[in-house]
């Protein structure tokens, strides 16, 4: 398949294994699930691909089936801001889809990723008729609001260890990212991109967290040993 094709041109239907990784499908009635499955599409995004671009009209509600994405924007001074990392199981952009607006943020892949999309009209059809889907979207909006507030707080933190702890705690949010589990596949360089620190400084922070027994650095990723303790690092010191 040509790498010159756009993400939209590379789309295809999902396999049964990929559908099993979509958390909200289980909340639908059989008829509603049939509608969703018929319209869901998935594409393999290459590193650096923009899934969403500032100023573009919304076309899909997106979710990460595999891989890692970064949601970012700019403040009033033109400085880059990272709003969220998006690991497996995470669906995003429901606020923009609800209002059928243009994107006010970029979403870019940090590694090769599988990104699924539900067309906007299908999203609204489910929202109009499915109680289970409504509850999922409402919970997403509530969790995302808390996440963005935390993201603004981290921008004001000068302690690198706290920045890394806060970012890790956000990535292990089971409500937003049910596909992560206890082990997050992420490199120190990818985490550095999300946190806004150098790879060396991130490595030092991870070593400190590991020494406290909060996490364990494993081959190809990080395992959380004490999530409450990791979250408490946000407010300590």
Q: Residue 124's pLDDT is what?
A: 98
Residue 234 has pLDDT above 60, yes or no: no
Q: Are residues 114 and 214 in the same domain?
A: no
In-domain check, residue 1? no
Sign of CA dihedral 107, 36, 29, 67: negative
Domain at 126, CATH number:
2.60.120.10
Contact 88, 65 (CB under 8 A): yes
In-domain check, residue 10? no
Q: What domain count does the chain have?
A: 2
Contact 44, 112 (CB under 8 A): yes
Q: Residue 147's pLDDT is what?
A: 74
Residue 206 has pLDDT above 80, yes or no: yes
Predicted TM-score (pTM) of the model is 0.85
Q: Residue 223's pLDDT is what?
A: 92
Domain at 202, CATH number:
1.10.10.10
Among 154, 170, 188, the domain boundary falls at 154
- Checking 137-144 for CB contacts under 8 A at 24+ apart, the result is 137/94, 137/98, 139/175, 140/91, 140/94, 140/176, 141/94, 141/95, 143/173, 143/175, 143/176, 144/84, 144/92, 144/94, 144/95, 144/176
Which domain covers residue 72, as residue numbers? 16-154
In-domain check, residue 80? yes
Give me the percent of the chain exceeding a pLDDT of 90: 62
What are the pLDDT digits (tens) for 171-183?
A: 988 889 988 888 8
Confidence of residue 235 (pLDDT cuts 50, 70, 90): very low
């Amino acid at each position: 398949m040509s790498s010159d094709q756009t993400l939209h041109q590379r789309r295809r239907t999902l396999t049964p294994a990929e559908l099993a990784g979509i958390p909200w499908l289980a909340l639908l009635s059989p008829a509603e699930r049939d509608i969703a499955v018929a319209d869901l599409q998935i594409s393999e995004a290459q590193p650096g691909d923009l899934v969403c671009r500032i100023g573009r009209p919304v076309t899909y509600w997106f979710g990460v089936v595999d891989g890692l994405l970064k949601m970012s924007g700019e403040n009033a001074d033109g400085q880059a801001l990272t709003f969220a990392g998006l690991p497996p199981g995470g669906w995003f952009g429901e606020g923009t889809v609800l209002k059928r607006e243009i994107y006010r943020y970029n979403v870019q892949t940090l590694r090769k990723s599988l990104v699924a999309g539900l067309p906007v009209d299908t999203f609204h059809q489910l929202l109009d008729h499915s109680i289970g889907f409504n509850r999922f979207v409402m919970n997403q909006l509530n969790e995302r609001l808390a996440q963005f507030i935390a993201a603004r707080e981290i921008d004001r933190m000068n302690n690198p260890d706290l920045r890394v702890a806060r970012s890790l705690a956000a990535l292990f949010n089971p409500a937003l990212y049910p596909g992560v589990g206890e082990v997050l596949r992420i490199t120190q360089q990818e985490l550095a991109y999300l946190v806004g620190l150098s790879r060396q400084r991130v490595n030092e922070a991870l070593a400190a967290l590991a020494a406290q027994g909060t996490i364990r650095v494993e081959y190809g990723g990080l395992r959380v040993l004490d999530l409450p303790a990791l979250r408490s690092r946000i407010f300590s010191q």
